[in-house]
Amino acid sequence: MARFIDDLRNCNFADGSMNYLDNYPGGFPSAKIVVAVSIFDSAALSAIVDTGAPWCIFDPELIAALGIDGDDGYRPEGALNIRGTRYEGVLVRAPLTLLADEGDDLTINATIFLPDWNEGDSWHLPNFIGLDGCLNRIRFAVDPVESVVYFGGL
């Protein structure tokens, strides 16, 4: 139960809320905010809220399975820094939905970085929701006491 959902909906701050995990599945308990999202018509996916990351990043195997390609994307000349490693790739827009436990889901036309990747290559990073690619386009608030994220459209 998100204690503040009614108040935050009444003042038009939030449309929905969800409980989050404090660790990525399989990881040690930590101070992370791991939320449930969906891309296009995917199942619920785990993703870390990362205000230090500019763009959203998802496992390339997942991106391939969802049929997302970079044909319509923007390919910068040069590599981007993804958690300390430089990757070449394409930036694309795709609908990313924050899945509410209470209130309404919120779908954002997010910017996702697709690193160049060949099937069979390993990928060891978790999924991330970044600031400029997603979070800057909504309102959000975190209640660490109840492990709840509130989110709403601008």
Partner 1 sequence: MNSMHASFLVGSDSTTDMVLKTIDKALSIGKDMILFASYCITGQPFGEKIQNFEGGLENTSCSRPREMILPSVTNALSELELYAHGERIEDFISLSKNINWSEQPPYALSRAIDLALALDLSSLAVGLAQRGETLFPDNVRLQKAAKVLCGSNIQRTQTTTSGRQLHDSRKWLQDYAGQYKGKWVAVQSGELLGVADTLKEVQRTIGASFHSRDTVITKIL
Contact footprint for partner 1 (CB under 8 A): 15-16, 18-19, 21, 23-27, 36, 38, 41-46, 54-55, 59, 61-62, 65, 72-74, 76-81, 91-93, 95, 97, 99-109, 111, 124, 126, 130-133, 137-138, 153-154
- Give the integer Cα–Cα distance in Å for 103 and 4: 11
Q: What is the DSSP letter of 126?
A: P
Taking the CA of residue 60 as centre, how many other CA atoms within 13 Å lie in the half-sphere pointing to its CB? 18
Residue 25 Cβ vs partner 1, minimum distance, rounded to whole Å: 4
Provide the token pair at 148: 């709840």
Residue 7 Cβ vs partner 1, minimum distance, rounded to whole Å: 18
Residue 38 Cβ vs partner 1, minimum distance, rounded to whole Å: 5
Nearer to partner 1, 7 or 30 (CB): 30
Distances in Å between the alpha carbon of 98 and those of 14, 32, 105? 12, 17, 6
